[in-house]
Amino acid sequence: MLEVTGLQKKYKEKTVFENVTLQMKPGEIVGLVGENGAGKSTLLELLATVMQPTLGEIELEGFSYTDGFKTIRRLIGYVPQDIAVWEEFTVEENMQFFEKLSWKKHTKEECRQLCVDMQLTQWKEEVRSLSGGMKRKLNLAISLLNDPVLLLLDEPTVGIDLKSKIEIGSYLHNLAKSDGKMIMYTSHDMDEITTLCDRVYSIGKDPFYMDLLTKNEIAVEQLK
C-alpha cells in the first residue's frame, strides 16, 4: 500500500504541485499523465527517494519516508526518464553491477532472464553500441532486480518497438496481477495508458487529459 498525503514540491520560488494526495493498492497499475512540465517526473522522483518534498507525507507498506530511506529503497524499483546505465559496460556487466547493489540476490542466469523478459537479448554487447530502445529495456530489467513492491516507471517505453512494448506491457500486467506489485507509470502514449492502467491520475493545470480520459470512460482523478 502506498499513501501520499498533502505532498508539496517547490524548486526555490517555483511550486510544481501544492497538495498531492493519492493511494495505491497491491496489484494496481496506475497511470500518471499531464503536459510537459506538469510535475510527473518530480512526483516519481519524490516517491523514488531521489528528492525530498517541501511538505507532506509518503508511506509505503506502513514505512514512513520521514523515518529514513533504507527500508523504503528495498521496496522500490525506478526507471528514470533519462536512461541511467553504464555505457562502457556490457549488458551482462551492467546487470551484475546492479545485482550487487540490490538487496535481492540473483544468479547470472536469472539476471539474463530478466533481460530476456524485457525483450533484450544482447547480453554480451557494450551498452554504448545499443539502440535507445534497447538501453531502456536494460533500465527496466535493472529496476526489477530488487523484486520491488512499488515500481515507478517514468516514460519507460519511449523508443521501444511496438512488439516489445506489447510483450513488456503483458509482463508488467502479470507482475501486478499475479504478484501484487504496484506500478506507477507515466507515458505520453494514451493507447498504452488506457490499455495497461487500471486507473489514471492527471497532474497539471491543463484539463485536456481529464476531459479526454473521462470521454473515453477511463477512471481518472485530478491531482492538485
Ligand X SMILES: Nc1ncnc2c1ncn2[C@@H]1O[C@H](COP(=O)(O)OP(=O)(O)OP(=O)(O)O)[C@@H](O)[C@H]1O
CB of 43 to ligand X, least distance (A): 7
- Residue 16 interface partner, choices ligand X, Mg ion, none, CB cut-off 5-8 Å depending on type: ligand X
Q: Which is nearer to ligand X, 99 or 155 (CB)?
A: 155
> Residues 8 to 67: which contact ligand X by CB under 6 A?
11, 14, 16, 34, 36-42
Contact between 178 and ligand X by CB under 6 A: the answer reads no
Within 10 angstroms of residue 182's Cβ, the number of other Cβ atoms is 23
C-alpha grid cell for residue 95? 546487470
Nearest distance, CB of residue 11 and ligand X, angstroms: 3
Q: Kindly provide the b/e burial profile for residues 41-66, where b requires at least 16 CB atoms within 10 angstroms of the residue's own CB.
A: bbbbbbbbbeeebeebebbbeebebe
Please answer whether residues 204 and 35 qualify as being in contact, where contact means their C-beta atoms are separated by less than 8 angstroms.
Answer: yes
Footprint on residues 2-61 left by Mg ion (CB under 5 A):
40-41
Site residues for ligand X, window 71-130 (CB under 6 A)? 81
C-alpha closest to that of 27 among 193, 178, 192: 178
187 touches Mg ion by CB under 5 A: no
Q: Which three cell numbers stand for residue 25?
A: 493498492
Interface contacts to ligand X, rule CB under 6 A:
11, 14, 16, 34, 36-42, 81
